[in-house]
Amino acid sequence: MDINSKNDFGENVLFPVALNGNLKLLKYLVENGADINATNNQKFTIIFPATSSGNVELLDFLVQKGLSVNETVLGGITPIFNATASGQADALKFLLKKGANINQKTNNNMTPLFNVAIKIQEKDTIIKSWSTYPYMADLSEKERKNIENLIACWKVLIDAKIDPDALDNTNKKAIDHLVGNQNYYNILAKYAQVEKKVAIQPKTTNEDIKNKINSLIAKEDFEAIKLLTEQNPNYVNYIVNDELRLMLTGPKGMKVGDIKKLLKNGKSETIVISLIKRVQIPYKEFTIEEIDLLSKMGLSDKIISSMIDVTTELSKDDKKRKEQEAYLNEHKKISEQKNETKVIYQNNNTSNEPNPSNPVTETIQNEAVKHIGKMIFDKLF
């Protein structure tokens, strides 16, 4: 048998051996004629799968045999990218010690730091999707461990003085890929000392938020409003227009407006309800008036009930409650203050107090409200 025969991916036998980190077997195969410099169809050598294995002794053996820690393929990928994507902090340290370029960039201007944030987001999404299936608990725990390893890689890169403010082709920093995932965003931001660069500062006042929302509505910049509420879900409570506020209520990708779009595009109620049940962030405790408005917006009782049910279940779940506590408390706080602060929109038919003078708000209420629903939906969803 030809020891250097290749599979459909162009890999000889050393590739899977390197990926498994089996140094003893790899040495045996090399001694018996296996080509240590072989490349696969994408021009990768075995140093890439070896890096993913995390076996530092194996990596050291390959470097001694002449393989480069800065070997570059596929638009700028080097072994250091494999180490970060795989959460192999020890392998990462070894590569840096051997001269790996920490500021290497891909064609998308992404440094290895981007791999960490993107992979954390991917794995956290997977964990959340498995949360309702008890038999996936072991796999979820394994992915949580992988996230811990990725965070360790983030720390290694920061300690090695990688630039945390480098921008990719979409003008995003590495940490921006975790916007919306406040838990891991805060962990990485704290270590990288970029706490002050969060999009919305904690000291922002209610009036600041309200003015920002009103200004964006006046400009009809609904995309900016949507982005703002995705980053800060509680900000929907500061929107004076009832229909716009409800359309932007809910988790990213499954807001009320997204639900309407799915139905409009022909998705069945059964599918939409299943998608709603899968969300990991609650909607809100809808009032009777809001439920009536949801019905007028074309949502059936089954759809509305599913949003209420998933919110109730998430609130009851102890593990979820910890993640959602701040979110739900903020809803309650704003609701309790609405009569006093006038932050939340009051129906003119139920309030005897005159509205405070605000030209922007009056213009919106008197002119735009009648047609704003359709215009917003067409632009956003």
User: What's the mean pLDDT in 143-149?
Assistant: 92
Kindly tell me the burial class for residue 182, based on how many C-beta atoms sit within 10 Å of its own C-beta (0-12, 13-18, 19 or more). middle
Percentage helix, strand, coil for the chain under 3-state DSSP, each rounded to 5: 60, 0, 35
Which of the pair, 221 or 127, is modelled with greater confidence? 127
DSSP 73: B
In the chain, pLDDT over 90 holds for what percent of residues?
A: 41
**In sequence order, what are the residues at sequence separation of 6 or more whose Cβ sits closer than 8 angstroms to the Cβ of residue 298?**
260, 263
Helix axes 256-264, 301-316, angle to 10 degrees: 140
Which of 23-32, 121-130, 189-198, 297-306 bottoms out in mean pLDDT, i.e. has the lowest? Answer: 189-198
Residue 184 tokens, joined: 């891991």
Measure the CA–CA gap between 189 and 164, rounded to whole angstroms: 9
User: What's the mean pLDDT in 193-219?
Assistant: 65
pLDDT in tens, 276-326: 988 877 888 888 988 999 999 889 999 999 999 988 887 776 555 555 556
Measure the CA–CA gap between 369 and 373, rounded to whole angstroms: 7
Q: Which pLDDT band, with edges at 50, 70 and 90, does 28 fall under?
A: very high
In the chain, pLDDT over 70 holds for what percent of residues?
A: 80
Closest by CA to 163, choosing from 193, 125, 206, is 193
User: What's the mean pLDDT in 80-97?
Assistant: 94
Report all structural domains of the chain as residue ranges with CATH numbers, in order of start: 14-97 (1.25.40.20), 113-197 (no CATH), 206-380 (no CATH)
User: What's the mean pLDDT in 218-243?
Assistant: 79
Measure the CA–CA gap between 93 and 81, rounded to whole angstroms: 12
pLDDT at position 223 is 76
Which of 100-114, 273-287, 366-380 bottoms out in mean pLDDT, i.e. has the lowest? Answer: 366-380
Which of the pair, 61 or 171, is modelled with greater confidence? 61
* Cα torsion 125, 281, 376, 261: sign: positive
Q: Which pLDDT band, with edges at 50, 70 and 90, does 19 fall under?
A: very high
